Amino acid sequence: MNSVRGRLVKASMWMSLSRAIVNGLTMLSTVILAWFLAPADFGLVALGTTMLAIVTGATELSLTQALIRHDSPKDSHFNAAWTLNAMRGLLIFLLFALAAYPAAKFYDDDRLTGIMLALGFSVFLSGLINPRLITFQRDLIFRQEFFLSVSQKFVGLLASVIVAAIWHSYWALVVGIVATQLANFVVSYILLPYLPKITFRHFKEFFSFSAWLSASQIANTLNWRFDVLLIGKILGPTSLGYYSMGNNLAILPTRETTAPLKQTIYPSFANIRHDAERLAAAYQRAQALVTAIALPVGVGFAVIAERLVLLVLGETWLPVVFIIQALAAVFAIQTLGSLVQPLGMAQGETKMLFKRDMQMFAVRVPIIFLGAMYFGLKGVILSRIFTGLLSTAINLFLVKRFTNISVLQQLSANTRALISVLLMAAGVIAASYFFPEPSEKIEILAQLITQIALGIFLYCSSNFLLWVLMKKPKGPETEIFAISSQILSKLRSRALP
């Protein structure tokens, strides 16, 4: 694991910085747009982006994963990947152009026509990006990824805010998406000049790896996106706006805190896939580290949701509080088995991942549909809590199948994190009852800062105390200390003349 850890450190430093900035820009964009736009605007655009996500997911070719796993890809492989992506982007654009009018009639909103045309064009742009950027990810070099991610997010933020401030229109959201993809396309060739060529070689080679992975992506996309279309049709754009905003905010802390590690995990697992014992040990340590970081952040976000919404979004958005509280906690718990995807891909178990996604799809669809029909938006959220916990259990059993690590062993590696996060949540919630009712923004901010500081103290102190009481076993604490030491060592070496 030491060699894996060493390779992860530098990559994670760049990815952590990238995700921190992108996360900040995302939050800033969400807050500013929420000031200028109505919940119904977010719901309307969410219909278009969800249909886009389903179509792109259904046609996902998993070429990045195939190239990463390839022992020695040549220029012809990158050209073939670019050709496939460009063809896919063009087909999706044409499909969206044809479906725009019928979709607008189905949802009884003519504005969807223009939205879908613009979103289809954004996918066409994304299919033209530089295929050789994958080489950086293969070699765990993420400095260029940093510049790409930050620049495209900044351009998208700037474009959407300008449109929102001037016209107060839902087009701010759409223009931001198109501008982001345009920046992604341009910057990808600035970072690594390359002239791709059209070629139809290696198609069979790509599909032999990605067939089941693509099928899994189709099921997974339908699994996690159909609820938006369902809410839009049954409950209307305003409820969908609240749901979309709450879901996006709820997933943000867990996703952003784990993204730097998750993005480097698959290449690392792929490099040691032939050593089963080493791979199992690497998985166990990486998973415990991800959970130790993401679990308190996700649960903590749920605990502070009410004051955070009041502070940054205002009373108009108070209905999203329950959504954030419920889903942020579920997303945090799901980190317990979240690395099963890169683990299965590294082992070539893409067919098994597809079966998992199909099983969850068969379970989620009727449960969420019934929840929406009989209990409205709250029913959808309760259904997602149940299915989220179920998917976590399924992932844990899949890990057992892939690595022979029992479910009990997987949970025991996270014992300190689980206990500490319960103490943290209980302490922050109990302390909140002693807060006076805030009447000014500054009072809300003071209470929010107090909650965050108390949560950090309770989690870190209880986790450290448990670690000491257990005689300092190897686990996420030792990983954090080791990674922190390597990062500090690199920083000191750069600071020295």
Q: What would the pLDDT profile of 392-408 be if each residue is shown by its tens digit? A: 999 999 999 999 999 99
pLDDT for position 71? 66
Residue 417: count of CB within 10 angstroms of its CB: 26
Torsion region of 265: left, alpha or beta (phi above 0 gives left; psi -120 to 50 gives alpha) = alpha
CB 209 within 8 A of CB 217: no
Q: What is the mean pLDDT of the chain?
A: 87
Find the mean pLDDT for residues 290-315: 93
Nearest-angstrom CA–CA distance, 375 and 361: 21
pLDDT at 489 over 90: no
pLDDT at 445 over 90: yes
From 283-297, 309-323, 345-359, the region with the lowest mean pLDDT: 345-359
pLDDT for position 56? 86
pTM for the model stands at 0.80
pLDDT at 1 over 50: no
- Three-state DSSP at 386 gives helix
pLDDT for position 77? 84
Find the mean pLDDT for residues 334-354: 86
Give the largest CA-CA distance in the chain: 68
- Three-state DSSP at 475 gives coil
What letter does residue 334 receive in the DSSP assignment?
G
Nearest-angstrom CA–CA distance, 332 and 294: 6
pLDDT for position 257? 76
Closest C-alpha to 414, from 285, 326, 318: 285
* Span between the terminal Cα atoms of the chain, in Å: 32
pLDDT-based confidence at residue 428 (cuts at 50, 70, 90):
very high
Closest C-alpha to 336, from 276, 408, 235: 408
